[in-house]
Amino acid sequence: MEIEINLAPPEELKEKPSDVLKVPFGTVFTDHMFSMQYSASKWHDAMIHQFAPLSLSPAALCLHYGQGIFEGMKAYKHEERVLLFRPEKNFERLNRSANRMVMPHVDVDIALEALKKLLLIENSWVPDVAGSSLYIRPTMIGTQAKLGVKPADEYLFYIILSPVGPYFREGFSPVNIYLSTEYVRAVRGGVGVAKTIGNYAAGLFAGTKAAEVGCSQVLWLDALERKYLEEVGTMNIFVKFDDELATPPLSGTILAGITRDSVLTLAKDMGVKVMERQISVDEVIEGIASGKVVEMFGCGTAAIIAPVGSLWFNDRPYTVSDGKTGKLTQELFDELTGIQSGIREDRYGWIVEVD
Ligand code: PLP
Ligand code: COI
C-alpha cells in the first residue's frame, strides 16, 4: 500500500522534553502520526502527517457504542539504532481484538511498514536515556455516523507516538495494589480478552477506591467466584511461591500480555519452575502470612515489570517481600529491559530493527 507523506512545516515542529523521565506518562506527543481510513470494505488513504485533532461526527459509532481497540508497544534507542520488541505480536493481537469487536483487520506487514516509516521520520523523538522509550499507540475506531446499534461500516486506524519514562510515579520501585472484592473487570464470554476501550472505563471506579487507600492499581478477581486472581489494571500478575513462579492462565477474561509471554520464556530459561494456573486469593494472603509468597510483580508494556510492595485486601494492607523488589523480579526486569533496549543479547529473535 502506498503511504503518502506530508511532513509538518519546520516552524511547527515541537520542542522535545528536556528530561523525558520527568514527563507524566503519555502526555507529550511527537510531530507526526500515521493514519488510514476504511470504507467500502477496504483500507485506503494511508498517510503520515502532522499530529492533529481528529475530525469526527458527533454520531460516530465508537463514541456511543464503544467500537474502539488499541495496542501499546515501545521503540528503544541503542547506539543510534531504533529497536522494536515483538511488534508483530501487537498487530496480531489488534486483529484478535478486532474479531471480538466486529471490526476490520489490518494487514500486519502493512501496519509494521507504516510504523517503521513513521519511526524513521520521528527518529529524533526516540529517547536514549536509561528507563525511557518511545511509547507507540496504534488505535482503531468505528467512525461511521449512525445511532443504530450495529458494527460500523467505516473505521479509522492511526498510530501516535509519545516519549515516556516510567509508567508509575514510583518508577521501578514497589507499587501498592488494591484487591477488588466488590467490582469485577470481565466475565467469561465477555470482552476481557480484547484490548478494547470500554474495559479501561469499566475499571476506573474501582481505581478511585484503590487511590483512596494509596494504591496505584486494582488487582481483579474472577467475576464468578470472586476467588481467583485475574490481572491488574494495565498488567498481568505473577506470584512467586517458594521456588514456583505462577501466573493466571489465559482463560478468556484477561489480556494475553506480550510481556507476560516473554517473562514466562525468560523465567523458564533461568531454570525457574513456571506455572500457568489458577491462584486463589486465599493462597496469596495465607502465603504472605506464612512467608510462602516471596515475590509478586505485575508486567506489561507500559509498566514493564512492577514489583508489588503491598496488597490491599479487606480493609488492610499486606506487605509483600518486606515492601522491597524481589531477587527474581529484579533479574527478570534486568534481562527483559536489557533485551528490549539492545544492551543484552536477543537470544529469541524478539527485536526488530527499524532501518
Ligand atoms: N493486561 C491489561 C489489562 C493491559 O492493559 C496490559 C497492557 O497492555 C497488559 C495486561 C499487559 O500486556 P502487554 O504485556 O502486551 O503490554
Ligand atoms: C500498555 O502497557 O501498553 C497498555 O496498554 C497499558 C495502558 C492502558 C497504559
The sign of the CA dihedral 18, 21, 24, 29 is positive
350 assigned to some structural domain: no
241 assigned to some structural domain: yes
Set of cell numbers at residue 43: 483500507
Buried b (16+ CB within 10 A) or exposed e, 267-295: beeeebebeeeebebebbbebbeeeebbb
**Mean pLDDT across the stretch 1-14?**
97
pLDDT tens column, 313-339? 999 999 999 999 999 999 999 999 999
Q: Which domain holds residue 84?
A: 4-164
Do 268 and 319 fall within a single domain?
yes
39 assigned to some structural domain: yes
Give the ligand 2 atom nearest the CA of 25: 9
DSSP 88-151: HHHHHHHHHHHHHTT-----HHHHHHHHHHHHHHTGGGS--STT-EEEEEEEEEE--B--SSS-
| CATH at 160 | 3.30.470.10
pLDDT tens column, 108-150? 999 999 999 999 999 999 999 999 999 999 999 999 999 999 9
CA atoms of 270 and 245, how far apart (whole Å)? 12
Predicted confidence (pLDDT) at residue 171 exceeds the cutoff of 90? no
Do 156 and 199 fall within a single domain?
no
Considering every ligand atom shown, identify the ligand nearest to the alpha carbon of residue 250 and give its number.
1
The pLDDT score that the predictor gives to residue 170 is: 78
- Give the end-to-end CA distance of the chain in Å, rounded to a whole number: 18
59 assigned to some structural domain: yes
Q: Nearest Cα to 230, choosing from 245, 214, 250?
A: 250
Any residues with Cβ below 6 Å from ligand 1, and which? 72, 231, 234-236, 255, 257-260, 300-301
Predicted confidence (pLDDT) at residue 84 exceeds the cutoff of 90? yes
Hey, whose CA ends up nearest to atom 3 of ligand 2? 72
* CA of 216 relative to ligand 2 center, distance in Å: 14
Q: Which of 86, 135, 195, 237 to mutate to test the pocket of ligand 1 (most atoms within 8 A of CB)?
A: 195
pLDDT tens column, 219-278? 999 999 999 999 999 999 999 999 999 999 999 999 999 999 999 999 999 999 999 999
Hey, whose CA ends up nearest to atom 8 of ligand 2? 234
Hey, whose CA ends up nearest to atom 9 of ligand 1? 235
**Where does the pLDDT of residue 200 fall: very low under 50, low under 70, confident under 90, or very high at 90 and above?**
very high
Do 84 and 152 fall within a single domain?
yes
**163 burial via Cβ count (<10 Å: 0-12, 13-18, 19+):** buried
The pLDDT score that the predictor gives to residue 172 is: 80
Set of cell numbers at residue 93: 493481537
Q: Which of 234, 266, 305, 339 to mutate to test the pocket of ligand 1 (most atoms within 8 A of CB)?
A: 234
Cβ(304) – ligand 2 distance below 6 Å: no
Do 108 and 196 fall within a single domain?
no
295 assigned to some structural domain: yes
Cβ(72) – ligand 2 distance below 6 Å: yes
* CA of 255 relative to ligand 1 center, distance in Å: 6
| CATH at 232 | 3.20.10.10
Q: Looking up cell 488487582, which residue turns up? A: 219
Set of cell numbers at residue 139: 488505535
Say how many domains are in the chain.
2
The pLDDT score that the predictor gives to residue 255 is: 98
Set of cell numbers at residue 239: 506470584
Angle, CA 183 vertex, CA 179 and CA 187 arms, to 5°: 105
Predicted confidence (pLDDT) at residue 1 exceeds the cutoff of 90? no
Do 230 and 184 fall within a single domain?
yes
Q: How far is CA 43 from CA 110, 230, 282, 311, in A?
A: 11, 36, 49, 46
DSSP secondary structure letter of residue 277: -
**Where does the pLDDT of residue 10 fall: very low under 50, low under 70, confident under 90, or very high at 90 and above?**
very high
Cβ atoms of 117 and 109 within 8 Å: the answer is no
Predicted confidence (pLDDT) at residue 154 exceeds the cutoff of 90? yes
196 assigned to some structural domain: yes
Task: Single out the residue in 164, 187, 211 at which a domain terminates.
Answer: 164
114 assigned to some structural domain: yes
Do 237 and 335 fall within a single domain?
yes
Task: Single out the residue in 138, 164, 190 at which a domain terminates.
Answer: 164
Cβ atoms of 75 and 134 within 8 Å: the answer is yes
The pLDDT score that the predictor gives to residue 219 is: 98
Considering every ligand atom shown, identify the ligand nearest to the alpha carbon of residue 259 and give its number.
1
Considering every ligand atom shown, identify the ligand nearest to the alpha carbon of residue 164 and give its number.
2
Do 151 and 207 fall within a single domain?
no
Q: Which of 193, 259, 305 to mutate to test the pocket of ligand 1 (most atoms within 8 A of CB)?
A: 259
Do 144 and 264 fall within a single domain?
no
Do 230 and 87 fall within a single domain?
no
Judge if pTM exceeds 0.95.
yes
pLDDT tens column, 17-67? 999 999 999 999 999 999 999 999 999 999 999 999 999 999 999 999 999
* CA of 235 relative to ligand 1 center, distance in Å: 5
Cβ(35) – ligand 2 distance below 6 Å: no
**247 burial via Cβ count (<10 Å: 0-12, 13-18, 19+):** buried
* CA of 110 relative to ligand 1 center, distance in Å: 23
**Where does the pLDDT of residue 348 fall: very low under 50, low under 70, confident under 90, or very high at 90 and above?**
very high
Do 152 and 281 fall within a single domain?
no
47 assigned to some structural domain: yes
Q: Which residues have a Cβ under 8 Å from the Cβ of 11 and sit 6 or more positions away?
A: none
Residue 321: count of CB within 10 angstroms of its CB: 21
Cβ atoms of 298 and 232 within 8 Å: the answer is yes
Predicted confidence (pLDDT) at residue 169 exceeds the cutoff of 90? no
Hey, whose CA ends up nearest to atom 1 of ligand 1? 235
Do 119 and 229 fall within a single domain?
no
Do 83 and 179 fall within a single domain?
no
Task: Single out the residue in 130, 164, 198 at which a domain terminates.
Answer: 164
**155 burial via Cβ count (<10 Å: 0-12, 13-18, 19+):** buried
